[in-house]
Amino acid sequence: MTSNASFAAPPWEAAAALLRAASRVLLIAHVSPDGDALGSTLALTLALRAQGKHAVPACQDQPHPRFGFLPSVHEIRQALPLGEAFDLIVALDGSDAARMGTIYQPAQHASLPLLVIDHHITNTRFGTVNLVDPSAASTAEIVFALLKRMDAPITPEIANALLTGVVTDTQAFRTSNTTPQTLAVAMELMQLGGNLQEVTRQALVLRTFDSLRLLGAGLMSAKVEDRVAYAALPQKLREELGVREERGDGGLVGMLISAYEVDIAAVFVELPNGEVEVGLRAQPGFDVAQVAFEMGGGGHPAAAGCTLPGPLREAVNRLLPRLKQAAREQR
Ligand code: 5GP
Ligand code: MN
């Protein structure tokens, strides 16, 4: 999993050269986009447009309404017009090619250079140039460093988009990936016009009342076995509660890992298509990235995920023993 490439210096110059040479750029945020995927994608989109380039942000899944405050978020396309021509693709915050989802069409895109910008330890280096830095708390920090190297002006809008990535991937500077460097980046982004309070409130605090009820039901059904907490959220439960959001766990996995009695937490979310999206969290000293990677997903030691085939019960039965084993071995 951890190839030597993860310790090599990130190829800043090669990445900058690809962007400089391009004039029509497709930017792909990963499926089920989070604040870092969206913030990074939109910040780079705006910076490229300011340089006179044609830049199209895209994502297979529609962004959650909580990200409605992000600049140009409504321009993110869920599908591309047939035959629209690009000369560069940038994949942001995704650790493997599958995370690009249906936006990436090999028949049209395989011949184009692909720039991967990411910070996941499990990144498979699927690009032509892989700007991957697992020491960065967010992909947004990498985009920020790249833009500065390219002397691209950072407008308040771009700063706010980047700050969103930093704030969401660190849960407002609370997670173990937060370093002095992360705080220095956040300080700079605030000085450039990013609004920390507003970003935190919009992207992390505000939620629908429905999602609170989903969280409540999930907490009531959760179990702890061998210091592994887990819960399953069937589509049927969403229907019963009248939850309009088709995906997501309402923050449940983050709640489960907060219990003293828990080393590893897992939430299994049944998707409308029957697949199961799994969110994983680990206490410091435990690692869920490796298990997620083995299951075809990826992530960070403390927060990872994967998507498994249904049905829901089988996904739980398949992963749970593996999680208990990991918790036992790492204790
Ligand atoms: P979350 O539980 O917040 O959705 O995801 C936690 C971390 O795991 C994020 O960094 C996310 O990108 C990664 N992750 C979640 N699901 C998947 C997946 O299906 N595949 C991969 N490669 N990474 C995932
Ligand atoms: Mn990220």
End-to-end alpha carbon distance in the chain: 21
Residues 266 and 179 in one domain: no
Residues 64 and 174 in one domain: yes
Q: Which residues line ligand 1 (CB under 6 A)?
A: 95-96, 99, 120, 253, 279, 297-300, 303-307
pLDDT value, residue 82: 82
Nearest CA to ligand 1 atom 7: 304
CA–centroid distance, residue 325 to ligand 1 (Å): 21
Ligand nearest to the CA of 35: 2
Domain assignment present for residue 161? The answer is yes
Domain assignment present for residue 2? The answer is no
CA–centroid distance, residue 174 to ligand 2 (Å): 15
Amino acid at 112: L
Q: Which domain holds residue 34?
A: 12-205
Question: Which of 205, 233, 248 is a domain's end point?
Answer: 205
Nearest CA to ligand 1 atom 2: 279
Q: What is the pTM of this model?
A: 0.96
How does DSSP classify residue 37? H
Q: How far apart are CA 106 and CA 122, in angstroms?
A: 22
Ligand nearest to the CA of 169: 2
Count of domains forming the chain: 2
CA–centroid distance, residue 39 to ligand 2 (Å): 10
pLDDT value, residue 1: 42
Q: What is the CATH number of the domain that holds 300?
A: 3.10.310.30
- Ordered alpha helix ranges (H), the chain: 12-21, 35-50, 106-109, 139-149, 156-169, 180-191, 196-200, 209-221, 235-241, 252-256, 289-294, 312-330
Question: Which of 205, 224, 258 is a domain's end point?
Answer: 205
pLDDT value, residue 7: 61
Residues 165 and 37 in one domain: yes
Which residue ranges in the chain fall short of pLDDT 70?
Answer: 1-7
DSSP-derived 3-state class of residue 180 = helix
Residues 178 and 52 in one domain: yes
Question: Which of 205, 223, 247 is a domain's end point?
Answer: 205
Closest alpha carbon to 59 in 270, 49, 267, 36 = 36
Q: pLDDT tens digit string along 117-157?
A: 999 999 999 999 999 999 999 999 999 999 999 999 999 99
pLDDT value, residue 2: 42
Domain assignment present for residue 75? The answer is yes
How does DSSP classify residue 196? H
CB of 128 closer than 8 Å to CB of 114? yes
Residues 269 and 121 in one domain: no
